[in-house]
Amino acid sequence: MWQPPNSQKYTHPDGDWPSETAAAASRLFSPISFGAITLEQRTWIPAMVPWRATEEGLVTDDVLEWYERFAKGRPGAIVVEATGVRDIPSGPLLRIGHDRFIPGLRELVDTVHRASDGHTRILIQIIDFLAIRRRPAKEKYFRRYFQLNATHRDALKANGASDAECVETLIAMPDEALSDVLTERELEALRYGYRERVTDLELPHIRSLPEVLPPMFADAAIRAQEAGFDGVELHYAHAYTMASFLSARNTRTDGYGGSQDGRLRLPLEVFDEVRERVGEGYTVGCRFLSDECIDEGTELPDSTYFGLAFADAGMDFLSVSRGGKFEDAKQPKVGASVYPYTGRSGYECMPTIRSDERGPFGRNVPSVSHIRSAIRGAGYETPIVVAGGITSFSQAESILASGEADIIGAARQSLADPDWFRKMHLGRGDEIRRCKFTNYCEALDQRHKQVTCQLWDRTNRDEPGISMSLDGKRRLTAPEWE
Ligand SMILES: Cc1cc2nc3c(=O)[nH]c(=O)nc-3n(C[C@H](O)[C@H](O)[C@H](O)COP(=O)(O)O)c2cc1C
Ligand code: SF4
């Protein structure tokens, strides 16, 4: 895992847990209304992929149990993991690209409403992502995927050789020497696995994304509405298609790249079509990045411009994340896929307890606050959700009190202790199991394994009726709070 240079280990900020009376009077536990919904409290569990769907993308009992467990802690809102808008196989990740997914998703909604006694609102994050292949073995790359052309031949000085001879030469070449023969994209496909870009305009299915995606997202949003979700979060963050359109690296020349407005065009068109189909009375917002945290990536001036445009377009909420890109990810092992949370941008998305002088707690807050000020300055009241290393009452309360954000998102702290908001609310904060921020959970995600937390997954494994991981070693949900 990437760590900032000269990092040091931090200690948790004091919990400063409130009494029940102080919690009742706090901003954190005060309601907020937006779109068609009211959250009873300003607490939010952002999307977290737990790798529990079927290979066909359907809701399983394990998915229901995962969300049920969070719902028992009665947060203001839970956002269901990134759920694919296409009807294509994508491993055990949830999908919403066809009506056959609706019944399972409806059961998920009912489960959360029931388990929280109606206190928690449930939204779903909807996502599109482009193709990505595992890193191939060198021989496999050259024999199966590589396309030899005249430029390669020139570089190899092998004009009389057959194609097969050229391929053998390439296989035998040391890695460093290949840089003189292959293009950057070919080197990337060899070293990291082939990955599509929104800028690959020579590919018809990439060129046509601006026509294809708005109706696809809108169909998915309609299904979410039919399944009973309280709202939809459009995934415009991290390493995926819509974030790549917003990226400063998007150089598309068809009007959907380049300038700030060009990069915004498709995200706005997707939103407009979603809004038109679901109607004004349904809650729709997006998650986007304050900073891509990569070289030549989007930074705060652009993201502030985007935030203003989203508010102006009528989004009901904005959830602001940070980093999480492919561009600076570590090289995967042969046979594995590149994972977008392994470089500096990944660190910025999910900072660990070892950090630089800015520390791991609330690194995204200053940027989010800047975006929010611009939005308020322009007269919009759109609520802003912040996340990233938030783990104490005083921290959350001071973010709200100083107007840096309107809703507090906590992913890993909620995984460590799904009851932590409830414990705070009831004045029992000293019973909270505090996240260690060492990213054991994220490492499981990286290996596409069922996500659990090191603080509870080996506890009371003989408890009757609990579900275990596929290898039988870990319980899949946190023990109940008595
Ligand atoms: C296991 C895991 C899965 C995640 N999956 C998603 C996801 O599906 N969509 C998303 O926007 N963020 C995802 N995230 C990022 C979190 O929503 C959150 O932004 C990040 O963990 C920082 O917040 P925290 O410090 O409160 O954990 C994931 C994080 C973890 C740990
Ligand atoms: S596994 Fe570690 S980082 Fe993840 S939620 Fe648990 S304590 Fe926090």
Between 47 and 91, residue with greater pLDDT: 47
Average pLDDT over residues 276-291: 98
User: Which three-class secondary structure string do you get for the chain?
Assistant: CCCCCCCEECCCCCCCCCCHHHHHCCCCCCCEEECCEEECCCEEECCCCCCCCCCCCCCCHHHHHHHHHHHHCCCCEEEEEEEECCCCCCCCCCECCCHHHHHHHHHHHHHHHHHCCCCCEEEEEEECCCCECCCCCHHHHHHHHCCCCHHHHHHHCCCCCCHHHHHHHHHHCCHHHHCCCCCHHHHHHHHCCCECCCCCCCCHHHHCHHHHHHHHHHHHHHHHHHHCCCEEEEECCCCCHHHHHHCCCCCCCCCCCCCHHHHHHHHHHHHHHHHHHHCCCCEEEEEEECCCCCCCCCCHHHHHHHHHHHHHHCCCCEEEECCCCCCCCCCCCCCCCCCCCCCHHHHHHCCCCEECCCCCCCCCHHHHHHHHHHHHHCCCCCCEEECCCCCCHHHHHHHHHCCCCCEEECCHHHHHCCCHHHHHHCCCHHHCCCCCCCCHHHHHHHCCCCCCCCCCCCCCCCCCCCCECCCCCCECCCCCCC
- Dist. CA 138–CA 215, nearest whole Å: 40
Question: Which residue's C-alpha comes closest to atom 1 of ligand 2?
Answer: 453
Question: Which residue's C-alpha comes closest to atom 4 of ligand 1?
Answer: 48
- What distance in angstroms lies between residue 282's CA and the mean position of ligand 2's atoms? 34
pLDDT computed for residue 158 by the predictor = 83
- What distance in angstroms lies between residue 175's CA and the mean position of ligand 1's atoms? 35
The tally of domains found in the chain comes to: 2
pLDDT digits (tens, 9 = 90+) for 344-357: 999 999 999 999 99
Average pLDDT over residues 313-325: 98
Is 307 contained in some domain? yes
Between 160 and 406, residue with greater pLDDT: 406
Q: Which of 45, 48, 419, 436 to mutate to test the pocket of ligand 2 (most atoms within 8 A of CB)?
A: 436
Whether 210 and 284 map to the same domain: the answer is yes
- What distance in angstroms lies between residue 443's CA and the mean position of ligand 2's atoms? 10
Q: Which residues line ligand 1 (CB under 6 A)?
A: 46-49, 81-82, 125, 237-238, 287, 321, 349-350, 387-390, 410-413, 441-442, 445, 451
Whether 275 and 375 map to the same domain: the answer is yes
pLDDT computed for residue 284 by the predictor = 98
CB burial of 304-316 (b: ≥16 within 10 Å; e: otherwise) equals: bbbbbbbbeeebb
Asked whether the predicted pLDDT for residue 189 surpasses 80, the reply is yes
Whether 266 and 153 map to the same domain: the answer is no
Question: Which residue's C-alpha comes closest to atom 11 of ligand 1?
Answer: 47
Backbone dihedral region of 439: left (phi > 0), alpha (psi from -120 to 50 degrees) or beta? left
Query: Could you tell me the residue range of the domain that residue 143 belongs to?
Result: 138-191
The domain that holds 275 is classified in CATH as 3.20.20.70
pLDDT digits (tens, 9 = 90+) for 54-73: 999 999 999 999 999 999 99
Percent above pLDDT 70 for the chain: 100
Whether 146 and 104 map to the same domain: the answer is no
- Residue closest to 17 by CA, chosen among 361, 481, 422, 428: 428
Please, which pLDDT band fits residue 1 given cuts at 50, 70 and 90?
confident
Residue type, 73: G
Ligand approaching nearest to the C-alpha of 124: 1
Q: Which of 48, 66, 94 to mutate to test the pocket of ligand 1 (most atoms within 8 A of CB)?
A: 48
- What distance in angstroms lies between residue 123's CA and the mean position of ligand 2's atoms? 23
pLDDT digits (tens, 9 = 90+) for 42-58: 999 999 999 999 999 99
Asked whether the predicted pLDDT for residue 38 surpasses 80, the reply is yes
pLDDT digits (tens, 9 = 90+) for 92-124: 999 999 999 999 999 999 999 999 999 999 999
Whether 318 and 366 map to the same domain: the answer is yes
Nearest atom of ligand 1 to the alpha carbon of 237: 11
Asked whether the predicted pLDDT for residue 381 surpasses 90, the reply is yes
Nearest atom of ligand 1 to the alpha carbon of 238: 11
Average pLDDT over residues 282-307: 98
Whether 151 and 296 map to the same domain: the answer is no
- What distance in angstroms lies between residue 413's CA and the mean position of ligand 2's atoms? 7
Asked whether the predicted pLDDT for residue 368 surpasses 80, the reply is yes
pLDDT computed for residue 90 by the predictor = 86
- What distance in angstroms lies between residue 411's CA and the mean position of ligand 2's atoms? 9
Asked whether the predicted pLDDT for residue 160 surpasses 90, the reply is no
Average pLDDT over residues 178-187: 95
Whether 48 and 157 map to the same domain: the answer is no
Please, which pLDDT band fits residue 15 given cuts at 50, 70 and 90?
confident
Whether 151 and 84 map to the same domain: the answer is no
- Dist. CA 440–CA 425, nearest whole Å: 28
Asked whether the predicted pLDDT for residue 27 surpasses 80, the reply is yes
Asked whether the predicted pLDDT for residue 159 surpasses 80, the reply is no
Whether 174 and 264 map to the same domain: the answer is no
- Dist. CA 20–CA 46, nearest whole Å: 25
Q: Which residues line ligand 2 (CB under 6 A)?
A: 412, 415-416, 435-441, 453-455
Please identify, among 171, 191, 211, the residue that sits at the C-terminal boundary of a domain.
191
Is 468 contained in some domain? no
Whether 340 and 292 map to the same domain: the answer is yes
pLDDT computed for residue 221 by the predictor = 98
Question: Which residue's C-alpha comes closest to atom 4 of ligand 2?
Answer: 441
Average pLDDT over residues 239-267: 98
Asked whether the predicted pLDDT for residue 91 surpasses 90, the reply is no
Whether 23 and 99 map to the same domain: the answer is yes
Average pLDDT over residues 245-254: 98
Is 452 contained in some domain? no
